[in-house]
Chains A and B, each alone.
Chain A
Amino acid sequence: MSANRDELMEMVRDVLLGRLKLRLERDQIQPDTPLFGTGLGLDSVDAVDLAVGIEEGSGIKVPEDWRGRVALRSVNQLVGFLLEEGADVRRS
């Protein structure tokens, strides 16, 4: 069964705090937070790590084309993309 928005949001937070080790509180990562630049300040190396973490956490590959770039604009865009792809949250 596909995961819902809240579950995916938590999974994205897990990746950002766990895999990327952002020095933030969980509630500082909000749906509207941009991932790059003025938001969480990620760069393209972090984008690689984020994509690997998302694939591990949901089984969905973030494509390298324009769809991937749009998906990585904000936390919300990423969650929306994963919902469209019918992502499931892998509970390890």
Chain B
Amino acid sequence: MLRAAIEAGQTGIRPVQRFDTSAFDSDLAALVPGTDTPPMLPGASERAQELMVQFAVAAGREALLHANWAGAEVALVLGTNIEDRERTYEDLLDQVATELDLRGARLMTSIACASAASALGTAARMIERGDASIVLAGGSDVITPWVMAGFSVVGVLKPGPCTPFGAAFGLSLGEGAGLLVLEHPAHAAARGAVVRGLICGAGLAADGFHLTRPDPDGRGLAAAAQRAGAGPYGYVNAHGTGTEANDAAEVRGVVRAVGEVPMSSGKGLFGHAQGAAAAIEVISTLLCMERGRVPPTWGTTDLRAGAPAEPLLGPSRDLPIERWLKVSAAFGGANAALAFGPATPTLGAGPVYLGAVEAVGPHGVGLQGLAGGYQRGGEVDLGLAEQQCRRSDLSREDPTGVLVVSTATRLLRAAGLRMQRNNRRMVGVIVGQARTSHTTVERMHQEIEDDGPGGVRAGTFARASMVAAAGLVTRELGLHGPCNVLSCGALSGLVALVEAAEHLRSNDLTAMLALCATETGPWTGAGGVLLQREPTAVQVVGWAIGGGSHEAHTIERSGAAEHLMRIVPDASGAAGLWGFAQAQNLCEQHGSVVVVGSSLGISAAITLRRAR
């Protein structure tokens, strides 16, 4: 059905009936049919979350059916940009996993409009290192009155349907879910599975440029594409939202990375499905390619200046492609790319060392008195946290943002790492967040309550996304390396560190930061770990994640050690990072230590060894 709709250019963009759109610049969006009633009222977070789960479960069920897989050991990596109000991401993941009976590791990725691309890349890395042999991965997202209000006030909604690269600027929102079954080639071959595509590379990179606008030269997007693999590529499935800022920057970035190649965008059919976009667009591309075709840029007739040289306007045409790229860009300056096709040689793996551990909390800053302070609980002094950050005024930022920037600043200082023009691309950041900034999400809903749906402030909306804190770190400190945001409750910090280690090992990087912060709860503050290429006293020799009930196996894959240290998971996940101060001492004492943590849905382990 989907392939027929793509080939016929049948768009899902239509008038919105789910809620009142009179305060917005457009009344059009691509909504999932049959979900208009009951009406969604402003502030109806619960209903929005229910729809997100419903879309994910429906798509997941279909994906597993098509993959002909009924076994239970399936991991779940879900991208979304839905707000975590009322329920947490961990809670939503649990529901999706339970309804689909998935028992492998589960986590969310949330880098706004690039969330699904991040999910597919994260899942591919998990498969590559043996965390899972089969993963259900993709994204699910929902159009809510406040999301539409936010895009409207930022000035990017188009009154008519979206026409990517077209003469009239602007986007149409979309929603839904796209999920793919990813598995190890050996696993697929052993069970005789039908292989519909091969992910041969995944790259992430931050612009470190602006809260909502992409780097005008597309430098972050180009870096993400280059990390996904050298190519050559015969086709690029674009982010192509139709906005003035995105399309121009994206075309420049793609040309910078892979040269002039045929390019098309599916946003004229699906709208911009936010945190699900990349997954839906990858599925549509794979479907077309099974017939030797590429999905066209439907909707567009008149091209704007700066459009791709070959924008593949409809109808769909035959174009045999060996290797292709999917690119996504997001608020916060996050970029993600996925390469499909035959495997290419990858960069050799390099060593990873523990560079620095830092914390900011009610005890003050640094590690002195942290454990006692954590036991007592209490609130962090945000003024003190802000004093750690020297570059600019953070008075407009929410507590989560201030906490991660202050921790990151201290980490770079402790490791003696000075960010300059020539090393920005070589340092990246992975943020593990159990929750989005409560302060900002509540402020946004207060604005709606006070001034109606049209009353959402652009600044509040742009910061209400989980990627906001990570994006702020990349801008404040000039970190243009890989940037990702993971969420899995109390394990968020430890899992972020695993992801950071993986990027540092396999990419041409100098250092990676893992950060985790909380502004609510009995203890507020942040923890962070800096991993580096340059040798220190402690080497990180192994890491793994696995299902919540498979901790022993996760430890085994990470690598056995003289001593086992258990992270007692706190609600925020930050202890999973500053706990490495103790792990460092234990390692120097015992020679090696494996740090492990587990929750209902996921377990993670990292093995440290004393370096000579």
Contact = CB atoms under 8 A, between A and B. Distances in A.
Interface string A49-82: 1001000000000000000000000000000000
A14 interface: no
B155 A43 contact: no
B458 A48 contact: yes
Q: How large is the interface on B (under 10, 10 to 19, 20 to 34, 35 or more residues)?
A: 10 to 19
A41 B210 CA distance: 14
A20 B395 contact: no
A15 B186 CA distance: 61
A86 B153 CA distance: 25
Nearest to B461: A45
Interface string A8-41: 0000000000011111000000000000000001
B458 A23 contact: no
A36 to B, nearest CB: 12
Given A19-B457, A20-B457, A20-B459, A45 B392 contact: no
Contacts of B153: 48-49, 52
A72 to B, nearest CB: 14
Contacts of B395: 22-23, 41
Query: Looking at chain B's contact residues, is the secondary structure mostly helix, strand, loop, or mixed?
Result: loop
Contacts of A22: 395-396
A88 interface: no
Contacts of A52: 153, 457-458
Interface-centre pick from B154, B211, B457 (highest chain A CB count, 10 A):
B457
Contacts of B107: none
B392 A46 contact: no
Contacts of B212: 44-45
B497 interface: no
Interface-centre pick from A19, A46, A48 (highest chain B CB count, 10 A):
A48
A41 B393 CA distance: 7
B136 to A, nearest CB: 35
A49 B393 CA distance: 19
B154 A43 contact: no
A22 B212 CA distance: 19
A41 B392 contact: yes
A52 B443 CA distance: 18
Contact of A43 (B210, B443, B457): B210
Contacts of B393: 41
A43 B154 CA distance: 13
A44 B210 contact: yes
B563 interface: no
B291 to A, nearest CB: 43
B18 interface: no
Contacts of A21: 443
Interface in B132-188: 153-155
A45 B155 contact: no
Contacts of B443: 21
B550 interface: no
Contacts of A48: 153-155, 458-459
Contacts of B155: 48
B57 interface: no
A41 B213 CA distance: 17
B517 interface: no
A49 B459 contact: yes
Interface in B389-407: 392-393, 395-396
Contacts of B210: 43-44
A43 B459 CA distance: 9
Contacts of A46: 396, 458-459
A49 B212 CA distance: 13
Nearest to B443: A21
B462 interface: yes
Interface in B188-218: 210-213
B452 to A, nearest CB: 12
Contacts of B462: 45
A48 B154 CA distance: 7
Contacts of B458: 45-46, 48-49, 52
A49 B396 contact: no
B94 to A, nearest CB: 34
Which 4 A/B pairs are nearest by Cβ-Cβ distance? A48-B458, A23-B395, A49-B457, A41-B393
Given A43-B210, A45-B212, 9 more contacts: A20-B457, A23-B395, A41-B395, A41-B396, A45-B211, A48-B459, A49-B457, A49-B458, A52-B458
22 contacts: A20-B459, A21-B443, A22-B396, A23-B395, A23-B396, A41-B392, A41-B393, A41-B395, A41-B396, A43-B210, A45-B154, A45-B211, A45-B459, A45-B462, A46-B396, A48-B155, A48-B459, A49-B457, A49-B458, A52-B153, A52-B457, A52-B458
